[in-house]
Amino acid sequence: MSLLAVAIAGAPAKALGQEKKKDKPAAEKKEPVKGEKKKGGIPFRGKLDAVDKSAKTIKVGERVFQITSDTRIVKTGKPATLDDGVAGEEVGGSYKQADDGKLVALMVRFGPKPEAKAEGEPPAKKKQAKE
């Protein structure tokens, strides 16, 4: 009888412990979502004012973005390098602010967005979806 009483008394404690474990992963899942937003970076766009190949930076307006080995660079939808950047052309991308205050480019797109050229495609896709 005493063993049965201990088993019954311990069951709710185990259930509460399991419920707490279920709550923790949910909270952990929420934190990476916030982190993912930070990883996605802050968008920027404008005209490319200058490219400094030796310092590995680009200047867009008043902001200077540091290019690193992790920066993904594209031009007309294809992989590119810092050498492909031409002052005066359209540029866009995303960046994050480093602990030292520098703006580190995560992704840089030289030239207009490829989607801007294919504006006629979305309505065609909508018609296909309706059929």
Express each pLDDT in 23-65 by its tens digit: 444 444 444 444 444 456 899 999 999 999 999 999 999 999 9
Average pLDDT value for residue range 80-91: 93
Residues 61 and 24 in one domain: no
End-to-end CA gap in the chain? 70
> Residue 43: which residues within 8 A CB-CB, separation 6 or more?
92, 93, 94
What single DSSP character describes residue 77?
A: T
- Structure tokens belonging to residue 40: 């996605």
Residues 46 and 109 in one domain: yes
Residues 70 and 92 in one domain: yes
Total domains in the fold of the chain = 2
For residue 120, being part of any structural domain is answered with no
Beta-carbon count within 10 A of 44 CB: 18
Domain extent at residue 21: 1-40
Residues 34 and 78 in one domain: no
Beta-carbon count within 10 A of 82 CB: 16
pTM, rounded to two decimals:
0.59
Residues 99 and 48 in one domain: yes
Model pLDDT for residues 61-79, shown as the tens digit of each residue = 999 999 999 999 999 889 9
Residues 54 and 101 in one domain: yes
